Amino acid sequence: MAKENLNPFESAQAKIKKACETLGYSDDVYQILSQPQQVIEVNIPVQMDDGTTKVFKGYRSQHNNAIGPYKGGIRFHQNVNIDEVKALSIWMTFKCGVMNVPFGGGKGGVIVDPKTLSDNELEQLCRGYVDKLYRNLGEYYDIPAPDVGTNTKVMSWMQDEYCKINQGNANFGVFTGKDPKWGGSLGRGAATGYGIYLIAKFAAEKIGIEMKGAKVSVQGFGNAGKFTVKNMCKGGAKVVAISEWTREKGTYAIYNENGFDFDELEAYMEKNGNLINFPGSKELNEEEFFTLDVDIFAPCALENAITEEVAHKLQCKLVAEAANGPTTPAGEKVLMDRGIVITPDILTNAGGVTVSYFEWVQNLAGRYWTEEEVVQRQDAATEVAFNDIWDLAQEHKCSMRDAAYLVSIKRIYEAMKFRGWVK
Ligand code: GLU
């Protein structure tokens, strides 16, 4: 078997090319959209607790701001690299386009395993990232948010640093995903996982999977995975397997044919920092996890989880792409040939940025909404986006991913045309 191309930047470019060709756009449009407008690389010194100084490499990729300010998370992970950050920034542009959220796409990253840092070291790293990049951030310019390895605490340190640098001004709209106690929006923490559940539910209805009692397996139990499990359980589905990664053990999975209880999982995770030996569960190896007979599989971890090899193994009817870029192009082809429906990442996990947008609106207005208001708006936006894409995919007889790119690229093209960037 030929070696698979696992470069997410190149696969993102291939999707753009295909959509531009289908839409009949000139090559100029592809040329503009196939590269970030700018990519900034920074080196951030941190005084470690042992007295040494360590320099961490960070990036911010600003892909496109035709529709509005750059928007997207900051990832702290040991495998962050420039092509990954660029790809993630491209996906953000199209994710915002799919949801009709008035932002462009950006993404940041730092090469670090945050679990290896003390609180003091982590805080310095967060503040250092802002010290290096503040000129390129702003509530009308580039608005970061959490991603893999970052959370509300990271956002609060970064937001605080930005305010300090900006003469103490309370520009609370520069970072989203903050804690609701300080400028955050209710419902933001749960928003990505809730959106994943909604999209999976809408797709399940279309393809005849009854959500009540549907068997679900979930890869990852970070923010997206956790709230996906929570909402799947609440919606009556049976989450029978969860896979996770720890530094010590690597990848492992837990299984319970009767389905897990979310509150018990959360409490166990809180106490132990992992789900190893979760009461009543059986441990599965990777092969057993991927070949499980389930209705829905939600990859909620990192890109390239569903390679060609994994795609042959999966026994689900629906893949809800909760992570960014979880399916390789070769993996996607196999899934499609096997008739497995995929809800694409730029739609499935767009709940996070959708509620980030609500947070930004509340920050700029200085008026805060109830959780109910937030959820209602997320429900409405998600349903519209799903139906647009589902209908277009039926009309064009194409995948939902291709339809999502068509919807999104058209919106961005129209904004660029209006602004005189393309003919
Ligand atoms: N990091 C999240 C994503 O990949 C959220 C981005 C945001 O809220 O700006 O969609």
User: How far does CA 124 lie from the centroid of its chain?
Assistant: 25
Closest ligand 1 atom, residue 73 Cα: 1
d(CA 314, CA 312): 6
Q: How far is the CA of 411 from the centre of ligand 1 (A)?
A: 19
Element containing residue 253 per DSSP (H, E) = strand 250-255
Q: Count other C-beta atoms under 10 Å from residue 395's C-beta.
A: 9
- Strand extents, DSSP E, 119-237: 142-146, 215-219
d(CA 268, CA 349): 25
Q: How far is the CA of 50 from the centre of ligand 1 (A)?
A: 34
The confidence score (pLDDT) of residue 2 equals 67
Q: How far is the CA of 406 from the centre of ligand 1 (A)?
A: 21
Closest ligand 1 atom, residue 72 Cα: 9
Question: Three-class SS of residue 13?
Answer: helix
Active site residue 230: no
| Nearest alpha carbon to residue 217 among 300, 145, 127 | 300
Catalytic pick among 107, 178, 226, 230: 107
User: How far does CA 229 lie from the centroid of its chain?
Assistant: 16
Residue closest via CA to ligand 1's atom 8 equals: 353
The confidence score (pLDDT) of residue 5 equals 84
Can you give the pTM of this predicted structure? 0.97
Q: How far is the CA of 288 from the centre of ligand 1 (A)?
A: 31
CB contact set of 221 (below 8 Å; sequence gap of 6+): 229, 242, 244, 265, 269, 275, 300
d(CA 354, CA 98): 10
Best mutation site among 86, 147, 148 for ligand 1 pocket (most ligand atoms within 8 Å of CB) = 147
Give how far Cα 294 sits from Cα of 25, 211, 297, 355, Å. 41, 12, 7, 30
The confidence score (pLDDT) of residue 356 equals 98
The confidence score (pLDDT) of residue 83 equals 97
Over its length of 423 residues, how does the chain's per-residue pLDDT go in tens digits? Answer: 568 889 999 999 999 999 999 999 999 999 999 999 999 999 999 999 999 999 999 999 999 999 999 999 999 999 999 999 999 999 999 999 999 999 999 999 999 999 999 999 999 999 999 999 999 999 999 999 999 999 999 999 999 999 999 999 999 999 999 999 999 999 999 999 999 999 999 999 999 999 999 999 999 999 999 999 999 999 999 999 999 999 889 999 999 999 999 999 999 999 999 999 999 999 999 999 999 999 999 999 999 999 999 999 999 999 999 999 999 999 999 999 999 999 999 999 999 999 999 999 999 999 999 999 999 999 999 999 999 999 999 999 999 999 999 999 999 999 999 999 998
Asked whether the beta carbons of 320 and 194 are under 8 A apart, the reply is no
- Which residues surround ligand 1 with Cβ inside 6 Å? 71-73, 95, 145, 147, 176-177, 324, 349, 352-353, 356
| Nearest alpha carbon to residue 70 among 187, 155, 175, 153 | 175
Pairing between β-strand 296-299 and β-strand 318-320 as defined by DSSP bridges:
parallel
